[in-house]
Amino acid sequence: MPSNHKVLAFVMAGGEGSRLHPLTATRCKPAVPFNGKHRIVDFVLSNLVNSEIYSIYLLVQYKSQSLIEHIRQSWTMTRFIKDHFVTVVPPQMRNGPEWFQGTADAVFQNIHLIESFKPDIVAVFGADHIYRMDVRQMIDFHVKTGAQASVATLPVKLEQCGEFGIVEIDEDHRITEFREKPESAKPMPGSSTHALASMGNYIFNADVLLQALHRMKETGQSDFGKHILPSMVSSHKLVAYDFDTNSIPGTESYEEHAYWRDVGTIDSYFAAHFDTLGATPKFRMTNSRWPIYASPDQAESAQIEHGTIHRSVVGSGCVVDGATLDHAMLRRSVLVERDARLEHCIIMERSRIGTGALVRRAIIDQDNDVPPQERIGFDLVQDRERFQVTESGIVVVPAGFFPPRATANPFLSPQAPSEAWSDHAPGMEVLT
């Protein structure tokens, strides 16, 4: 049963996402597209709403216009129900001309929102991960254990500890140490190979959080993982919530239990897409009992003229005309012409893959008109002269790198039906 506590959520959506460049050249990390029609931010927002947490502030900062437009179009909550909202909050600079200096500082700069809302509990969640989670189960654990702050955790290999906040716990799940991205760490209880890592999702008693934020400002600290939580270990009861115990209705037996991915790099972002493919995927996008909500879809149905398609996603408005798709992810309004071949690719909105073009292990960002007979992903030395290529060999083609050809492509035309997802007006940021 859901907790009766009054909950206010802050979603930290200001991430610059430098390791996802060039996908973050014109958009912030939470706004980066994922799968056929989602964006990364949709996962945390869906988890909160499915958990019956409807009062949500989204704190934004870097290159936020496309994220703001996505929230406006996709996450409008009814105005007739009290405390139902998803509201975007940019830096208010109420305490001086400063951008958010860290996650805790972002909440501190909006401390008036907590004081006016008067919640019992404040959830502070990241916006950068692919997962399903019933947040109410974590809140119930927080209340049951008498915690003042709780940290969602999961096991990670010891060699990965430098990428996460690492916690040590006692037999009652109480956190005895919290270190942000340590060079080495002790194994978690019952394991010799894994440590317990923070997922970047926190639950606070509201009064405790307010006290911690005021104290933080006095000491010049700015971040939850680096400063606030480590400093609270000795003075407050912090507990580790085991994400592995979280139960989601509608999860199939073949899915990876407690699936969670930090898609902060091109390699991890690319791999997570293919975890969603197939009849028995690691993470099934279509769970009607715990949906991941997506942006509104105004495009026509996809059309398959003919071709060969194996384990692929073909988004609405796409046209496949005599092409071969093998582990391909096509977002909205993609045209794949005759004899083109896509192998392990992500193709974003309004792109065209020309006749006879061969593309493998690549991400083609939106509004690209890949020329006929083009080769991408076959000669990585040559590819590196034009594109970013990861160490594992994934090629990333920036948005608009290949300009429209003289022959008409309706998806790249200013009169295209998918105009709502782009913005060519002078002086405005491209909505990606």
**198 annotated ligand-binding residue:** yes
**Confidence category of residue 428, pLDDT binned at 50, 70, 90:** very low
**Domain 7-262 shares a fold with domain 303-421:** no
Mean pLDDT over 401-425 rounds to: 56
Element (H, E) at 405: none
State the CB neighbour count (10 A cutoff) for residue 244. 11
Cis peptide before 91 (omega within 30 of 0): no
Multiple choice CATH, 303-421, 2.40.50.140, 2.160.10.10, 3.30.10.20, 3.30.420.40: 2.160.10.10
Q: What are phi and psi of 115, to 5 degrees?
A: -65, -35
Among 19-33, 97-111, 113-127, name the one with the lowest average pLDDT: 97-111
Residue-level pLDDT at 410: 62
286-312 pLDDT, tens digit per residue, is: 999 999 998 877 778 999 999 999 999
Helices 41-50 and 65-74: crossing angle in degrees, nearest 10, is 30
Mean pLDDT over 39-54 rounds to: 97
Residue at token pair 């006879």: 356
pTM, two decimals, is: 0.91
Residue-level pLDDT at 411: 60
More confident site: 258 or 421: 258
Residues 6+ apart with CB under 8 A from 215: none
In this prediction, what percent of the chain has a pLDDT beyond 90?
75
**Confidence category of residue 50, pLDDT binned at 50, 70, 90:** very high
3-state secondary structure 291-346: CCCCCCCCCCCCEEEEEEEECCEECCCCEEEEEEEEEEEECCCCEECCCCEEEEEE
3-state DSSP helix/strand/coil % of the chain, to nearest 5? 25, 30, 50
Q: Hey, what amino acid is at 134?
A: D
Among 236-250, 266-280, 295-309, 404-418, name the one with the lowest average pLDDT: 404-418
Residues 6+ apart with CB under 8 A from 431: 65, 66, 69, 421, 422, 423
Residue 18 has which token pair? 């430098």
Q: What distance in Å separates the CA atoms of residue 348 and residue 333, rounded to the nearest whole number?
A: 8
Among 186-195, 196-205, 214-223, 225-234, name the one with the lowest average pLDDT: 214-223
**162 annotated ligand-binding residue:** no
Average pLDDT, the chain: 89
Would you kindly state where each structural domain of the chain is located, as residue ranges?
7-262, 303-421
**180 annotated ligand-binding residue:** yes
Q: What distance in Å separates the CA atoms of residue 298 and residue 185, rounded to the nearest whole number?
A: 50
Whether the per-residue pLDDT at 19 is higher than 80: the answer is: yes
Residue 389 has which token pair? 């290529």
Whether the per-residue pLDDT at 3 is higher than 60: the answer is: no
Residue-level pLDDT at 299: 76
Return the DSSP state at 165.
Answer: E
175-209 pLDDT, tens digit per residue, is: 999 998 998 888 998 899 999 999 999 999 999 99
**322 annotated ligand-binding residue:** no
| Assigned architecture for domain 7-262 | Alpha-Beta Complex (3.90)
Whether the per-residue pLDDT at 412 is higher than 60: the answer is: no
